[in-house]
Every structure is written in structure tokens, then in C-alpha cells.
Amino acid sequence: MTSVTPTLGIGTVEAAVEAALSTVRRNLDRFGGAYPGDTTVSDRYLLRPAENGIPEGGNRGWTTSFRTGTLWLAWELTGDEAFRAGAERDVDDFARRLHAGEDLDTHDLGFLYTLSTVAAWRLTDDEAARVVSLEAAETLMTRFLEPAGILQAWGDLSDPAQRGRTIIDSLMNMPLLTWAGEQSGNPAFADAVRRHTAQLRTHIFRADDSTFHTFYWDAETGEPLRGATEQGAFDESCWARGQAWGIYGFAMNFAATGDEGLLDAARRSARYFLAHLPADDVPYWDMVYTDGSDAPRDSSAAAIAVCGLLELAQVETDADLAVEWTERAHAILASLIERYAPDPAESSDALLRHSVYDLPKDVGVDEGTLWGDYFYLEALVRVSVPGWEKYW
């Protein structure tokens, strides 16, 4: 157990880990190799709906690897081979998805292949998984747009609605490229990471340190155009999960590139996020809402922020700030354990209740999410397994 602040006792964390693992086991028994949906529906995961020729329970969308990553974490925590076997079944399916060319038009290849095949290689030296990870990184690189120096987030590269658009979440997709650069020795990967993250730190912030969810560049000239939202309340609001992606993503990319501007960006993301939390330390889904609002919370943003603050504390060059990030992370995690984890565990299929996927589209509002589950368990691992090495 790493040192914990008074807000986060050892017994509390151990009980939270046990409860989470019981749910991971229950979901593994129930779903086997089929994938649940992005979010629960009334606290229950259902089979992922069929879409675009991919059958019900199939591997599509950006969230399936969070199940795989959760299984890897469960295996690391317990050594139970059933969790490893479940994760490896997913890894084989991620290889199949890549080679079949299924639903790959997205920058989220980073999320998808970091938590599945890269994690497999890191944890088990799986050579086939290493090769697939490199192929996924090559595919992600096809989204790099010159002269803007950004990776396009969504859709076909010729889609006028998406062309030249990137989003703050993309920071979390960069580790796949950083890893591929280290493995292959090809400097193009690190160059793409350096340029994309520099564009984001320059343009994704407003003067008050809040962030846009998305930003457009002119794909022909490379000129930065405008910020906008996709999942936030309005273009000038601060979508809570985006701000949390900023904490974690800028911190990791600072470590990868050595670009001091990214450390500053991670600190700015953290300061704004922490200054706009309500009394229980778990944000409303958009940070325009404050104490007293009846807007839904996004507990997944809080879980991402815990991991991001703990990562920032590790790379922080100012010792006092490192202590502050750690203490605030522990306080948020304590609140998640006390108020947002299902009690009893069986009362939800999710590890964390009360998240929001996309409120403007009325999708997954006040539900559990696959990524909320993953980051909550990663947060618990970070505070309970000394020296744990992340998959990113």
C-alpha cells in the first residue's frame, strides 16, 4: 500500500478493491467474449447493440478496450488466470478487428490498442500483440494532417464535417504512438506526438484555463480556426471529462516529449478542474454547473482526474505541487468510494455509478460507463500497488 492521506484509509481502499473485483468477475462470467454496451442502462450492462454489419456483442466503437484493460488490472491485482484468459481472448479479437478493417476510422485506436494489445505485450511479452500494436499505430498515423500537424479525431478524412477537427480526448491516444516510436525507432511517431500536443496546448485553452472540447484547423492551410463542443453544454462551456482528459493527457505527454509547455498545460487543466468541483469533489457533467445544481454528475471524469493527478504528481518538478495533486486525488477517490461505488456491489453492473456519456444526445446519462469502471480500478491500483506501471 502506498502512503495514503487521512481521507483515504487502507481498509477503505482494500474493501473498494474487493467490491470492484467481485463485479469484474460477475461481468466476465456473464458476458464471456461478448462486449457490453458503452454504458449501463438502469445500472445493468446489456450486450453491445449490432451496428454497421457488426453483430450484437461485437467489437466496435471506442470503449471495448476498457473492458480488456479492466481485466488486465484484475489479473494484476489477483493473479487469477480467469482474468488473464478473458483479457487474452479480447486481445485476439482486437487483432481480428484490425486485420478485418472493422471500425478503424477514429483516433481512438490509441485507447483501443493501448489497453488491449500494448498491455498484453507489457504484461506478458506477447510478441503477436506487439506486432498488432505497431500495425494499429501505423493506421493511427494515417490520420496525421499536414500542414496543420494534428491527428484528425473522427470520421473519414474526407468528411467535411470532421476534416481538420481534433479533440482534447486525443491526448490519451498519443501513448500508442510514443510506444510505437520506442519500439520501431521510427522518429515519425514521436514527431507526430510532439506536433499534435503542441497544437493542443496552444489552442485548446481559454484564458481562464478551461478547455474547449474540440478545435478545428483548416486542413488545407493548417490555420487554427475555432473551438467548439460536441459533448459539452455549449461551445464556450467546459465539459468536465474533457478537462480531466487534459490533466492526464498533458501530464503523460510531458513525460513522453519533455515539452515544458505540456507540464504547464497539465497544471492549468488541474487547477481549473479542482477549483470548479462541488463540495463532494465529483464534478457535474459540465463545469458550468456548481453546487446546488440538479445537473447530473460525471463520476467517470472524477476517476480520470484521480489517475491524471497521480500521474501529474509523479512527473511534477515542484515538490509542493506534487503533494497538492496527490492529496486532492486521494480526496476525490475517497468520495468516489464512499458515494459513487455501488453499495452493495451487486446493485449495479458498473464499478462506478452516476456518469454521463453524452448528455446533449441523451446517451448514457446518470449511468455506469466502461471507461469510468476502468479508470476507477486504475485509480485503486495506483494507490494500492506500489510501483505499478501504467499501460499507457
Beta carbons within 8 Å of 361's beta carbon, 6+ residues apart = 231
User: Is 373 a residue that touches ligand GLY (CB under 6 A)?
Assistant: no
User: Is 143 a residue that touches ligand GLY (CB under 6 A)?
Assistant: no
**Residue with Cβ nearer ligand GLY (8 or 174):** 174
**Residue with Cβ nearer ligand GLY (98 or 303):** 303
User: Is 209 a residue that touches ligand GLY (CB under 6 A)?
Assistant: no
Residues annotated within a binding site for substrate: 108, 169, 227, 229, 241, 245
User: Is 367 a residue that touches ligand GLY (CB under 6 A)?
Assistant: no
Q: How far is CA 48 from CA 35, 129, 324, in A?
A: 6, 24, 40
Tell which one of 169, 259, 281, 316 touches ligand GLY (CB under 6 A).
169
Active site residue 343: no
To ligand GLY, the closest distance from the beta carbon of 169 in angstroms equals 4
User: Is 241 a residue that touches ligand GLY (CB under 6 A)?
Assistant: yes
Is residue 146 exposed (0-12), middle (13-18) or buried (19+ Cβ within 10 Å)? exposed
To ligand GLY, the closest distance from the beta carbon of 245 in angstroms equals 7
User: Is 97 a residue that touches ligand GLY (CB under 6 A)?
Assistant: no
Task: Say which residue the cell 493527457 belongs to.
Answer: 249
To ligand GLY, the closest distance from the beta carbon of 33 in angstroms equals 24
Active site residue 209: no
Q: Which residues pair with 151 in a beta bridge?
A: 144
Separation between Cα atoms, residue 14 and residue 221, nearest integer Å:
54
**Residue with Cβ nearer ligand GLY (231 or 253):** 231
Catalytic residue (one of 38, 90, 103, 108): 108
To ligand GLY, the closest distance from the beta carbon of 340 in angstroms equals 17
**Residue with Cβ nearer ligand GLY (277 or 301):** 301
User: Is 103 a residue that touches ligand GLY (CB under 6 A)?
Assistant: no
**Residue with Cβ nearer ligand GLY (83 or 216):** 216
Separation between Cα atoms, residue 48 and residue 50, nearest integer Å:
7
Catalytic residue (one of 38, 103, 126, 169): 169
Alpha helices in the chain (DSSP H): 10-31, 64-78, 81-100, 109-113, 119-124, 127-141, 174-184, 187-203, 240-257, 260-275, 299-315, 319-335, 370-384
Annotate 273-327 with DSSP letters as a single string: HHHT--TTS--BSBTT--TT--SPB-HHHHHHHHHHHHHHHHH-S-HHHHHHHHH
Residues annotated as catalytic (active site), given as ranges:
108, 169
Residues making contact with ligand GLY (CB under 6 A): 169, 231, 241
